[in-house]
Chains A and B, each alone.
Chain A
Amino acid sequence: EVQLVESGGDLVQPGGSLRLSCAASGFPFSSYSMNWVRQAPGKGLEWISYISHSATTIYYADSVRGRFTISRDNAKNSLYLQMNSLRDEDTAVYYCARDHRWTTPPGDDGMDVWGQGTTVVVSS
């Protein structure tokens, strides 16, 4: 079964740090680009970061650039999001989502597999 399982969400104080993980199974993880997408309470989906299959291409949304770092370990079939200098507005459910296979260009595939999400609450 193709599956993504996020973990690492927690309650953290403003200015704090947190590391999210996403464990992939059931598909060749190293062949796919990946995204982190978040959803604040009662709000819509917000894309925040992308990493190509080999980690040679990385993008960030303006809202997190300089504070968050995406990475992956293909040997461990895992995706990560290091979040520093957290703010109240980072409170959200964070999803990892599979993107395009390495044989297709960005934008040619949708995000066809999503995890169940992990909740991050930033509050004092």
Chain B
Amino acid sequence: SYELTQPPSVSVSPGQTASIACSGDKLGNKFAYWYQQKPGQSPVLVIYQDDKRPSGIPERFSGSNSGNTATLTISGTQAVDEADYYCQAWDSNPAFGGGTRLTVL
């Protein structure tokens, strides 16, 4: 099965830029997706097809994907962005990364 690797945690100060990496074999040849999940809530798609934002997702969320690494970037991070973030891609079937807890402190 296809494996996606994320750092367990990332910390950022309010107003700064947070970057969360997701690595997988030839990930740049696939579309990468990012989900935000807050405690007690269902996941929400925040980036699709590497770098597109669904309607309603703030512009401070952006994405890129090249080589073996996809990156979710949150510019001007706010306290409300504190959450778990999961990357996802399709190989022969969907696969999720292990998740990254973003702490805004």
Residue ranges of A at the interface with B (Cβ–Cβ < 8 Å): 35, 37, 44-47, 50, 59, 61-62, 95, 97, 99, 106-112, 114-117
Residues of A near B42 (CB, < 8 A) are: 95, 114-117
Q: Which one of B9-17, B18-26, B70-78, B87-95 is at the interface?
A: B87-95
Residue ranges of B at the interface with A (Cβ–Cβ < 8 Å): 1, 30-31, 33, 35, 37, 42-45, 47-49, 54, 84, 86, 88-90, 92-99
A44-B99, A45-B86 given; A107·B54 CB < 8 A: no
Residues of B near A99 (CB, < 8 A) are: 94
Is the Cβ of A109 less than 8 Å from the Cβ of B48? yes
Which one, A45, A50, A117, contacts B96 given CB within 8 A? Answer: A45
Is the Cβ of B88 less than 8 Å from the Cβ of A59? no
Question: When chains A and B are docked, how far (Å) is the Cα of A46 from the Cα of B93?
Answer: 12
Is the Cβ of B89 less than 8 Å from the Cβ of A107? yes
Decide if the interface of chain B is mainly helix, strand, loop or mixed: strand
Is the Cβ of A107 less than 8 Å from the Cβ of B90? yes
Is the Cβ of A114 less than 8 Å from the Cβ of B88? no
Question: When chains A and B are docked, how far (Å) is the Cα of A108 from the Cα of B93?
Answer: 12
22 examples of A-B residue contacts, CB within 8 angstroms? A35-B94, A37-B96, A45-B43, A45-B88, A45-B96, A45-B99, A47-B88, A50-B93, A50-B94, A62-B1, A106-B93, A107-B30, A107-B89, A110-B33, A110-B47, A110-B49, A110-B88, A111-B35, A112-B45, A112-B48, A114-B42, A116-B42
Is the Cβ of B31 less than 8 Å from the Cβ of A107? yes
Least CB separation from B46: chain A residue? A110
Is the Cβ of A59 less than 8 Å from the Cβ of B48? no
Residues of A near B96 (CB, < 8 A) are: 37, 44-47
